[in-house]
């Protein structure tokens, strides 16, 4: 499968376009955002677990990055409530399960650098906020390795993010509020992927906005895609 596999093009998917499809595991459905491969794939998805569902034990051949959006996600290493950011590097393993409330997660698979071995579970509800650019923005850094940067950002109401370019590309998942961009309005659940060097600007709405932001990680994917004929 090749879904939104041309990383030289921007992609915006709002919740009104979400199509949830069953996974091979009962009680687990997913909304695929981008994907290269079949069941073993470089993939970015939203995944829903029905109440009291489980997922088979597995090893992460390409690493796994998770943000718990709703409910409590758990495995044999711990329990992770809403607002937990997880990184499981290449070679780690677990057996996911959820409780009676079910869960929804944002997950990225097979996108780790082999030298990136940091395993973590970080709460974005309890973490420390730092001033961003401009200083009215609040930033909670979650991870960095090489050119890759992952953070959660809070943009107050009416914040204007001046035009800028993310030289290594960017991904945004809107968690709260809304953002107006030249590509369209982002509401909670919307996912935006920008290719390297794409121009980006945004204005937050009356409730402000809280976003997951990942940058610097797509330049190599564009080069790889051009070799594959995308």
Tens-level pLDDT at each residue, the chain (230 residues) = 999 999 999 999 999 999 999 999 999 999 999 999 998 999 999 999 999 999 999 999 999 999 999 999 999 999 999 999 999 999 999 999 999 999 999 999 999 999 999 999 999 999 899 998 888 899 999 999 999 999 999 999 999 988 999 999 999 999 999 999 999 999 999 999 999 999 999 999 999 999 999 999 998 887 665 444 33
Question: What distances in angstroms separate CA 181 from CA 185, 196, 201, one per listed residue?
Answer: 6, 17, 6
**Ramachandran angles phi, psi of 227, nearest 5°:** -70, -30
**Ramachandran angles phi, psi of 212, nearest 5°:** -85, 130
- pLDDT computed for residue 223 by the predictor: 65
Number of Cβ atoms within 10 Å of the Cβ of 50 = 12
- pLDDT computed for residue 133 by the predictor: 82
Q: Residue 4 — left, alpha, or beta (φ > 0 → left; ψ -120 to 50 → alpha)?
A: left
Number of Cβ atoms within 10 Å of the Cβ of 144 = 14
- pLDDT computed for residue 212 by the predictor: 98
Pairwise CA distance, residues 61 & 54, whole Å: 20
CA 106 from chain center: how many Å? 5
- pLDDT computed for residue 53 by the predictor: 96
CB of 211 closer than 8 Å to CB of 175? yes
- pLDDT computed for residue 230 by the predictor: 34
Q: What is the dihedral of CA 13, 14, 15, 18, to 10 degrees?
A: -30
- pLDDT computed for residue 127 by the predictor: 87
Taking the whole predicted model, whether its pTM rises above 0.85 is answered as: yes
Q: Is the four-CA dihedral 147, 150, 56, 92 of positive or negative sign?
A: positive
């Amino acid at each position: 499968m090749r879904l939104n596999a041309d990383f030289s093009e921007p992609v915006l998917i709002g919740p009104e376009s979400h199509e949830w499809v069953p996974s091979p595991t009962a009680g687990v459905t997913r909304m695929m955002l981008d994907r290269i491969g079949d069941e073993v794939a470089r993939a970015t998805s939203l995944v829903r677990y029905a109440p009291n569902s489980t997922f088979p034990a597995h090893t992460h051949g390409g690493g796994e990055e998770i943000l718990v959006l709703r409910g409590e996600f758990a495995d044999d290493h711990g329990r992770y409530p809403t607002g937990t950011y997880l990184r499981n590097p290449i070679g780690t393993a677990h057996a996911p399960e959820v409780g009676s409330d079910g869960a929804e997660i944002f997950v990225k698979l097979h996108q780790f650098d082999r030298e990136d071995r940091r395993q973590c579970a970080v709460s974005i509800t309890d973490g420390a906020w730092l001033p961003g650019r401009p200083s009215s923005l609040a930033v909670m850094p979650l991870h960095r390795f090489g050119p890759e940067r992952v953070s959660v950002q809070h943009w107050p109401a009416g914040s204007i993010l001046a035009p800028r370019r993310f030289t290594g590309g960017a991904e945004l998942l809107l968690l709260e509020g809304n953002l107006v961009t030249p590509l369209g309005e982002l509401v909670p659940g919307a996912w935006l992927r920008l290719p390297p060097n794409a121009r980006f600007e945004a204005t937050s709405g009356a409730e402000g906005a809280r976003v997951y932001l990942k940058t610097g990680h797509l330049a190599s994917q564009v080069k790889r895609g051009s070799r594959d004929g995308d």
